[in-house]
Amino acid sequence: MRSKLVAGNWKMYKTAAEGAVLATAIRNGLRRKPGVEVAVCPPFTALTAVAQALAGSPIALGAQNLHPEAEGAHTGEISAVMLKEHGCVYVIVGHSERRRECGETDALVNAKALAALKAGLIPIVCVGETREEREAGRTEAVLTEQIRGSLAGLGDRLEGLVIAYEPVWAIGTGLTATPQQAQEAHAHIRRLLAAMGGRDAAARTRILYGGSVKPDNAADLFSQPDIDGGLIGGASLKADSFLAIVHSA
């Protein structure tokens, strides 16, 4: 049985002080251990403050990116080992904003996922199609290419990672895939995982949905058989909305 996971991606929001306040509010709203895994992924500069605010709670810490090398002359980058030292459990890799703004390829996402696993981090590997690709009927083809490229060589390690399906056209736009659309994409991804690592591994791998998830649509999305929680963007920046989504899961 796959456990649900709700992870908040704070993107480039929240200073260290603001992040500590938000993390404390989320922690206080989850005084009892929820029946779902919860994680927050603040900016690098807020990791220490958020880690301190979450100490002793069931909420896991995650990061939003990493470099595939453990160390080296990579100005402005951060390694998996550094994230681990700060208490991170999860790390997001291949988010569509980084694919678009930083030119990240499936091969680079694959290298980052491998680096995360090597360091003992759980990568949340993001995939998703653009609006133009969906309207052209290419959703499954795009997801197939991204999954095969981003997870190359990881067939026997699927259970050590998380997949996040985030249709690019639904991120920060207010548009949301219908539960049926999301389920169809998740089912396709799970079939791809089964072909790569076997049915048992695919059945145990969590696939999250992301893309304008809100308290009023979370329950319908999370009730789908292949949707195992969410990677939450804007709604994770307010404790009450994030907590409502967690309770929906």
Q: Is the domain 5-9+29-248 a CATH 3.40.50.720 member?
A: no
Backbone angles phi, psi at 138, to 5 degrees: -105, 15
Contact 231/126 with Cβ under 8 angstroms?
yes
Residue 31: pLDDT band (50, 70, 90) is: confident
- Shortest CA distance to 116 belongs to which of 96, 88, 143? 88
Among 51, 41, 46, 49, CA closest to 10: 41
**Cβ atoms of residues 199 and 205 within 8 Å:** no
Least confident range of 7-16, 25-34, 157-166: 25-34
Q: What's 167's DSSP letter?
A: -
Q: What is the pTM of this model?
A: 0.96
Q: Would residue 186 show up in a list of annotated catalytic residues for this protein? A: no
Domain ranges of the chain: 5-9+29-248
Are the C-beta atoms of 43 and 10 separated by less than 8 Å?
A: yes
pLDDT number for residue 214: 95
pLDDT tier at 174, thresholds 50, 70, 90 = confident
Of 67, 95, 129, 186, which one is the catalytic site residue?
95
User: At 5, which helix (H) or strand (E)?
Assistant: strand 5-9
The 10s digit of each residue's pLDDT in 57-109 is 999 999 999 999 999 999 999 999 999 999 999 999 999 999 999 999 999 99
User: CA 196 from chain center: how many Å?
Assistant: 20
> Which tokens hold the place of 176?
């949301």
pLDDT at position 172 is 79
d(CA 146, CA 93): 12
Query: CA 137 to CA 26: how far, in whole Å?
Result: 40
**Total residues belonging to the chain:** 249
**Which among 37, 104, 129, 166 is annotated as catalytic?**
166
Confirm whether 95 is a catalytic residue: yes
